[in-house]
Amino acid sequence: MRRWIAAIIFVVLAASCQRVSFRGKALETPRPVPGFALIDQHGQAFTFTDQRGRVVLVFFGYTRCPDVCPFTLATFRDVARQLGPEAARVRFVFVTVDPEQDTPAFLNRYMRLFHPDFVGLTGTPEALKPVYAFFGASFRRVKVPNSAVGYLMAHSVNVAVIDRDGRWRVNLDHNAPAADMLHDIRQLLR
């Protein structure tokens, strides 16, 4: 009887040690990410299923964004630097909500401003639509007649965090401190 009680206590303690606490908002039920196929900034095919084994941070935006997008990518850069060698096990992904303007060549120049290993993704509207739908990315073009570009894209600003098994686990706010992003990434790298 004592052995059974000891075994049960051991199992309960082991299970409690495996609990993950996030600083971002954990999804109630992790969602397996389908094998969406998009095009990266080098014109190469990119699928989410090929990223298994890595933690993936996904942010939706556009390269002409004056504030939120560069701020978020700069935070990604800080996180990548702080991760050091662990950054090789993390993929930072920027998916355009303005594919008409954000060609692979333009994304390539833009992503290099932040980090050479960051991934910028685009695709046809047909390829992008299910990705936007899955992650709940919303956006709309807003005309700004007196600007150089003539428009802005009002878009959702969360960062989706995918675990090494390809499951969307956490949402982080775009302005989450680097320390919070690091915390959640390290939880998922364990």
What does the pLDDT look like over 40-92, one tens digit per residue? 999 999 999 999 999 999 999 999 999 999 999 999 999 999 999 999 999 99
What residues have CB less than 8 Å from 159, skipping those under 6 apart?
24, 57, 58, 59, 72, 171, 172, 173, 174, 176, 181
Mean pLDDT over 175-179 rounds to 94
What does the pLDDT look like over 15-47, one tens digit per residue? 444 567 999 999 999 999 999 999 999 999 999
**Closest alpha carbon to 178 in 88, 65, 94, 72:** 72
Q: Side-chain half-sphere of 34: how many Cα atoms within 13 Å? A: 11
Looking at residue 145, its pLDDT comes to 87
Mean pLDDT over 154-170 rounds to 96
Looking at residue 69, its pLDDT comes to 96
Entry field: residues in the chain: 190
What does the pLDDT look like over 93-104, one tens digit per residue? 999 999 999 999
Mean pLDDT over 132-151 rounds to 91
